Amino acid sequence: MTRQGKASVFSIRRGDAGRPGRRAALFALALAIGLPAGAQDAPSPAASMAGQEQGPPDPAADLTLRRNSTRSELDALSRTITLSQERADALTATIAEIDKSNEALRVAIVDSARKRQELEQQIVDGEKKLSDLRTKEDTVRRSLRSRRGVLAEVLAALQRMGRNPPPAILVTPEDALASVRSAILLGAVVPGLRKETENLVADLKALADIRAGIDKQREDLTAAMTANVEEERRMAMLVAEKEKLRQTSAGELAAEQRKAQELAAQATNLQGLIGSLESQIASVRDAAEAARAQEEERRRMSEAEREAARELARSAVPDKNRIAPAYVFSELRNKLAYPAAGSLLRKFGDADGTGHSLQGIMLETNPGALVTAPSDGWIVYAGNFRSYGQMIILNPGDGYHVVLSGMEKVSVQPGQFVVAGEPLATMGAKRVASAAALALETDRPTLYIEFRKDGKPVDSRPWWTAAEVGKARNDT
């Protein structure tokens, strides 16, 4: 909006030119509500034409604009946050002191990832709160503009009385609120304006409270972002230490990655890709055989032993040195956390934009969000696949596969065993092409999650905790 368009709501009538009290009051009002004063009276032709073309306000469009504005505000804020040299040195010293065994590093990495995702969820929630506060602020400002004449009359009355006049320049809602209250106490408000003046006081107080809330929310977000930057650095150091322990030679790893990419280029669907990987990539084949052996062992268990395993899944802490999934995947219903902090954007069964139903769920995340393993399992594939973008396929055993896609950077390799909560990838800055041709109302990063049982997609909702299922976007 132009300066000219902004000021038009405070246009001064020609008859007021000789009334300095009212003119000064209008000027003060413009400053109090945060708009420039002294601009031209009429809105620009472009603004008028836009108003005619747009018609009534669109709440959904307004919400999208507000969310985008808040995101831009936080993006600018995040660019100002850096890790001090003192904190970086302290982190380096801390990493130097920890146990460098594979098991200890894995525990430390999972703990760091958990802290990061908690902070990222705080940022997601804080962004929503800030956006809501900005929307409320806009609503109150519109209400104040509708009563600008009342405030101008009250301030002009104080100036005419010459007793306890309003500040020379009102720069905050608090200034205007103090002046209006003074006018009421001094009897400067005529009876006919008293009710309107009381409403004015309520709006000014609400605006002051909202602005205080915005300031507090920005402080909280800054603290969470700063802590997240530090935790991100800590986790990167831990992962680097763990990489030093990897036994697979660089040559073997590169050869398997090339072969996996060749198979991905030849595959026409996910099931075909999984089958070819498990038959032709040695590390993936070994992982699949380990999963099948574990499943066969569980099939031989008695019902009492199966119940003991279910009880273990409900209550026990798994062995940190494990090299196979601690629990039967089908027994983990209502136990899993989302792989990334964010909000549920689309669910299983929703229209996918191609005339079919979505075979997974979609989470909207913040840029750079960490993606972790939702459960223990072996990495079957990690890399690009068709329209999925960067994709990870996890084999948690029990005949299941978990597909994650939409990430920008993956940090695991085929055949690797990971535990629940272990870092797998990070999201990019914007949404990438996915298997679903959805007309989404966001260009924010979007994580696609699909569960498969014996090669067929299944609804993943029964596996997520109730808290996760409730994380839907507030405008969906």
pLDDT of residue 370: 94
Q: Are 369 and 341 in contact (CB under 8 A)?
A: yes
129 by Cβ neighbours in 10 Å (0-12 / 13-18 / 19+) ranks as middle
| 100, pLDDT greater than 80 | no
Residue found by looking up tokens 């997609």 in the block: 457
| 450, pLDDT greater than 90 | yes
pLDDT of residue 437: 46
- Residue 382: CB partners within 8 Å, gap ≥ 6? 260, 391, 392, 393, 410, 412, 413, 414, 424, 425
DSSP assignment, residue 399? T
**Token duo for residue 308:** 């003991």
Residues 266, 261: Cα–Cα separation, whole Å = 9
Is the pLDDT higher at 281 or at 456?
456
pLDDT of residue 116: 92
CATH 2.70.70.10 domain locations along the chain: 250-469
* Of 124-133, 312-321, 395-404, the least confident: 312-321
Residue found by looking up tokens 């990655």 in the block: 257
pLDDT of residue 49: 36
CATH number 3.40.50.2300 given to 250-469 = no
Residues 281, 112: Cα–Cα separation, whole Å = 31
DSSP labels for 135-204?
HHHHHHHHHHHHTHHHHHHHHHHHHHHTSSPPPSS--SHHHHHHHHHHHHHTT-S-GGGHHHHHHHHHHH
89 by Cβ neighbours in 10 Å (0-12 / 13-18 / 19+) ranks as exposed
**Token duo for residue 392:** 């990870």
| 94, pLDDT greater than 60 | yes
Q: Are 370 and 113 in contact (CB under 8 A)?
A: yes
Instruction: State phi, psi for 34 to the nearest 5 degrees.
Output: 85, 25
Residue closest to 203 by CA, chosen among 32, 24, 22 = 32
pLDDT in tens, 230-251: 888 888 888 888 877 665 556 6
Residue 395 has, within 13 A of its CA and on its CB side, a CA count of: 31
Residues 26, 5: Cα–Cα separation, whole Å = 16
pLDDT of residue 377: 93
pTM of this prediction exceeds 0.85: no
pLDDT of residue 286: 78
Task: Calculate what percentage of the chain has a pLDDT beyond 90.
Answer: 18
| 469, pLDDT greater than 70 | no
* Of 261-275, 404-418, 429-443, the least confident: 429-443
* Of 44-48, 186-190, 224-228, the least confident: 44-48
pLDDT range class, residue 54, cuts 50, 70, 90 = very low
Residues 403, 434: Cα–Cα separation, whole Å = 12
Region for 316 from its dihedrals, namely left if φ exceeds 0, alpha if ψ lies in -120 to 50, beta otherwise? beta
Sign of the torsion formed by the C-alpha atoms of 61, 63, 65 and 68: negative
DSSP assignment, residue 8? G
**pLDDT (mean) for 401-409:** 93
**pLDDT (mean) for 124-133:** 89
Q: What is the mean pLDDT of the chain?
A: 74
- Residue 158: CB partners within 8 Å, gap ≥ 6? 164, 165, 166, 179, 182, 183, 186, 188
| 191, pLDDT greater than 90 | no
